Amino acid sequence: MELTQFRPALDAWLDEHAAGLTPSGHGLDAAMTHLSKVKRLAYDAGWMRYGWPERVGGLGGSPLLRGYLGEALTARGFIEAGIYSMVEVLAPTMIDFAPAELAAEMVPRLLCGDETWCQGFSEPGTGSNLAALTCRAVATDTGWRVNGQKVWTSLAQYAQRCVLLTRTGSPESVHSADRHRGITALFVDMDSPGITVRPIETMHGAPEFCEVFFDDVDVPGSRTLGAEGQGWAVAMDLLPYERSTALWHRGAFLHRRLGDLVREAPEGALAARDVGNVLEQVYAFRAMSRRTLYRLAAGEQLGAETSLDKVMLQVSEQSLFDLVAEGLPSNVVFGDADGDAEWRSEFLYSRAATIYGGSAEIQRNIIAKRLLDLGAES
Amino acid sequence: MDAADLAAFTASVRQAAERHAADFDTGLEAVGWREALAEDMAAARAVFAIQGKLNLASSALDDVLLQALGQRPDPETAVLMAPYPIGTRRLATASRIISVDVDGVVPIPRDAPTLRQASGIDPAGGWVELSGSFELHVMGGCVPPPPRDAALAAGRLAIATELAAASRAMLDLARDHAVNRIQFGKPIASFQAVRHRLADALIAVAAAEAVVDAGWEETTLYTATMAKAIAGRSSRTVARHAQQVLAGMGFTAEHPYHRYLRRVLVLDQLLGSTAEISEEMGAAAIRNREIPAMLRL
């Protein structure tokens, strides 16, 4: 199906089913339950299967269809883009690296809302320096035995599976220049004995990040994603998706909230020029993201240039919510109604926009080295 | 024009730009710019990108405005878009001046306005200001209402294209300086403080290029206006970082940097500045209690 047919047909379906798709309740538990429901409805109606290959239960078509689905759901307030877009990040990894049968079995469960997956990358000792991870997997007769800790693992408390990066090279390889080589990616059942999940209380009030502990967790060899030692490639493969469809959805979220802001702000609370500035930033971010999505759809290899999109998201998200704090102080600062909690939580979450998924500084390092070709840093 | 024609036209403009750097209007004349424009507005994209990159000045903007108004581009006709009083060099010499306001296309009597050579910060640009008692927005009803929005869109997009190219050129100057300039025994490009400045400049350039692309893909008053505002702001950001990285070299008259700075400051003022557009866009959003739809997939 082409986007030109997909768009009006999806719009009509969303209008028709708006009542069932509109979230009720507050908090992360309610949001997760609702997300599963939306995915299930959209999957059964076929929408959630477009843009994914047939061998994993998809209906084929361009990733633009996935881009539009997430955008349309976000624009109508039916989903939270952040938790929805995990699909965009993790399903492609499985499709590209899992054994064919495993991908065919698992991906539909993620798409249809039956399952949530998480991404076990960051560790206490490896924030920006991801390649120095130490969570260890040792070969056994049947596969791997995992010991170590992950942190900032989104939605781990809800997840049935985890895409986990482990060190299978020697522990000393962490300190070597080619530390990227000793990493292997595994697909782990979260109900495996030895896994402990501890949600982290954060300043924005939703415990969406977790610590995950692995104590002698056995993982079958058939759950290896890619070859042994190919884990860095798995991690890097995920970036183009995280930076294309998922960012496009995030742009739809910023657009919606900017609209909400000008609707809800009391008379005189917003300065016209400030609103104009934020409008332009969000527009510029979306123009960049849109271009990237079309490049993905055309089969181009996305690389370091997606760091530019990521920085634009960081900048526009923070300026939007800075404006929210200025324009809706009685909601963000003092308010206690449900809507106020949402604005406040989003404002606080936006403070992390320059930290997660590659910090503002790391992005600029990448841009300087890979896009501007400035040579080595001293 | 198909892609091959456009590529050939672009190549000839590039050659003409080198041959006639001091008088780009003559160069454009030589490559049949007005004929190309009449055939396809995309010709303007090539011309303004080259003009921005090489810091050239011309009166090509008048041709773009005429074309968008449905009139024949003509070197003897200068155009002013009310209420903006600054025109290109053509204003000083053209035998016919027209003003475009909300009511229509209004001929301006050649002797009515006072024209002033607006040398200002960018003497090389040849800009001219219409001043005196003549008001740009008064007359009307002379001809059927013109597609003023279309002209404003075309003009803003052309200037945004030039701004984005000029921004890219400033970044290139700074980048080359940074990798060649040695201090403390190393290229200054190896220092993170310098690298992050240049990265920020590239982010601004990329944003400007993306919105300019979006404007050309679907030209409306909205997409062109956003492109102009964003490219204008980006050019200031890039200029600031480039100036700092170029340091003393960039402060000399000998180094080309200052000519770009001068030009982008002027371009930002034409047909609505970034500040004015932001103010208007924001005021409209507050008044309507909604923001415009943005860039469909």
Residue B228: is its pLDDT beyond 90?
yes
The answer to whether A84 and A37 have CB atoms below 8 angstroms apart is no
Q: For residue B134, what pLDDT is reported?
A: 52
How distant is the Cα of A273 from the closest Cα of chain B, in angstroms? 4
Q: Is the pLDDT of residue B62 over 90?
A: yes
Left if phi > 0, otherwise alpha if psi is -120 to 50, otherwise beta: which for A249? alpha
Q: What share of chain B is helix, strand, coil (3-state, %, to 5)?
A: 60, 10, 30
Residue A173 pLDDT grade (very low, low, confident, very high; cuts 50, 70, 90): confident
Considering the entire predicted model, what is its pTM?
Answer: 0.96
Strand residue runs (E) in B20-159: 77-81, 86-87, 96-100, 105-108, 114-117, 128-131
Task: Provide mean pLDDT across the span A251-255.
Answer: 98
- On the question of pLDDT at B19 being above 50, the answer is yes
Identify all chain A residues contacting B213, using CB atoms and an 8 Å cutoff.
287, 291
Distance (Å, whole) CA A333 – CA A321: 13
The per-residue pLDDT of chain A, averaged, comes to 95
Among the residue ranges A13-17, B5-9, B16-20, B136-140, the one predicted with the least confidence is B136-140
* Per-residue pLDDT at A350 exceeds 60: yes
Q: Which residues of B touch A (CB under 8 A)?
A: 175, 178-179, 186-187, 189-192, 195-196, 198-200, 202-203, 206-208, 210-211, 213-214, 226, 229-230, 233, 275, 277-283, 285-286, 288-291, 294-295, 297
**With an 8 Å Cβ cutoff, are A374 and B230 in contact?**
no
CA distances from A89 to A95, A238, A349 (A): 11, 6, 20
CB A96 within 8 A of CB A235: no
Which of B191, B205, B238, B294 to mutate to probe the A interface, most A CBs <10 Å? B294
Is A277 in the B-facing interface, judged by CB distances under 8 Å?
A: yes
- Do B164 and B205 form a contact (C-beta atoms < 8 A)? yes
Q: Which residues of B touch A369 (CB under 8 A)?
A: 195
Strands lying side by side in the sheet with B86-87: B86-87, B128-131, B114-117
- Asked if A259 and B291 come within 8 Å (Cβ–Cβ), the reply is yes
Residue-level pLDDT at A25:
87
Distance CA A145, CA A127 (A): 24
Report ipTM for this prediction. 0.95
Tens digit of pLDDT for each residue in B169-204?
999 999 999 999 999 999 999 999 999 999 999 999
Q: Are A283 and B278 a contacting pair at CB < 8 A?
A: no
Contact B285 A279 (CB under 8 A): yes
Cβ-Cβ contacts under 8 Å between A and B: the total is 147
Instruction: Give yes or no for a contact between A48 and A111, defined as CB atoms under 8 angstroms apart.
Output: yes
CB contact under 8 A, A308 and B202: yes
CA distance A278 to chain B (A): 9
**Best mutation target, B226, B230, B291, to test chain A (most A CBs within 10 A):** B291
The tokens for A183 are 């990493």
What is the predicted pLDDT for the residue at B139? Answer: 42
Helix or strand (DSSP H, E) at B214 = helix B192-217
B196 neighbourhood in chain A, CB within 8 Å: 361, 364, 368
Q: Which phi and psi angles does B76 have, rounded to 5°?
A: -95, 0
Dihedral pair phi/psi, residue B68, rounded to 5°: -70, -25
CA-CA distance, A204 to A72, in Å (whole number)?
26
Closest residue on chain B to A312 (Cα):
B203
Higher-confidence residue: B1 or B61?
A: B61
What does the pLDDT look like over B102-147, one tens digit per residue?
A: 777 877 876 666 888 999 999 999 999 987 655 554 444 445 555 7
Please give the share of chain B, as a percent, with pLDDT higher than 90.
83
For B94-142, where are the E strands, in sequence order? 96-100, 105-108, 114-117, 128-131
Cα–Cα distance between B277 and A272 in angstroms, integer?
10
Nearest CA in chain A to B223: A283
CB contact under 8 A, A276 and B191: no
Contact A195, A244 (CB under 8 A): no
Q: Is the pLDDT of residue B34 over 50?
A: yes
CB atoms within 10 A of CB B46: 22
Would residue A242 show up in a list of annotated catalytic residues for this protein?
Answer: yes
Task: Look at residue B140 in the predicted model and tell me its pLDDT.
Answer: 43
Lowest average pLDDT, out of A229-233, A277-281, B112-116, goes to B112-116
HEC per residue, chain A: CCHHHHHHHHHHHHHHCHHHHCCCCCCHHHHHHHHHHHHHHHHHCCHHHECCCHHHCCCECCHHHHHHHHHHHHHCCCCCHHHHCHHHHHHHHHHHHCCHHHHHHHHHHHHCCCCCEEEECCECCECCCHHHCCCEEEECCCEEEEEEEEEEEECHHHCCEEEEEEECCCHHHHHCCCHHHHEEEEEEECCCCCEEEEECCCCCCCCCEEEEEEEEEEEEHHHEECCCCCHHHHHHHHHHHHCCHHHHHHHHHHHHHHHHHHHHCCCCCCCHHHHHHHHHHHHHHHHHHHHHHHHHHCCCCCCCCHHHHHHHHHHHHHHHHHHHHHHCHHHHHHCCCHHHHHHHHHHHHHCCCCCCCCCHHHHHHHHHHHHCCCCCCC
pLDDT greater than 90 at residue A240? no
Choose among B166, B200, B195, B167: nearest CA to B179. B195
pLDDT of B146: 55
Tens digit of each residue's pLDDT (9 = 90 or more) over A16-49:
999 999 999 889 999 999 999 999 999 999 999 9
Question: Which of A41-55, A108-122, A312-326, A331-345 has the lowest average pLDDT?
Answer: A331-345
Is residue B291 within 8 Å of A255, Cβ to Cβ? yes
Spatial distance between the Cα atoms of A91 and A106, rounded to a whole number of angstroms:
9
Cα–Cα distance, A292 to A187 (Å, whole number): 28
> What token pair was written down for B81?
């878009």
Alpha-carbon distance of A58 to A39, in angstroms, equals 14
CB contact under 8 A, B297 and A64: yes
Pick among B286, B288, B296 to test the A interface (most A CBs inside 10 A): B286
Question: Who wins on pLDDT, A177 or B208?
Answer: B208
* Residue A179 pLDDT grade (very low, low, confident, very high; cuts 50, 70, 90): confident
DSSP, res B190: G
Average pLDDT, chain B: 93
Q: Does A118 have pLDDT greater than 80?
A: yes
What 3-state class would DSSP assign to B5? helix
Task: Work out the average pLDDT over B201-222.
Answer: 97
**Average pLDDT for residues B80-103, to the nearest whole number?**
88
With a CB-CB cutoff of 8 Å, which residues 120-179 of chain A face chain B? none
Range with lowest mean pLDDT among A247-251, A329-333, B158-162 = A329-333
Q: In angstroms, what separates the C-alpha of B236 from chain A's closest C-alpha?
A: 14
Q: Choosing from A242, A267, A280, A317, which is the catalytic residue?
A: A242
Whether the predicted pLDDT of B65 surpasses 60: yes
Residues composing chain A:
378
Q: If you average pLDDT over residues A256-263, what whole number do you get? A: 97
Q: Return the pLDDT at B141.
A: 44
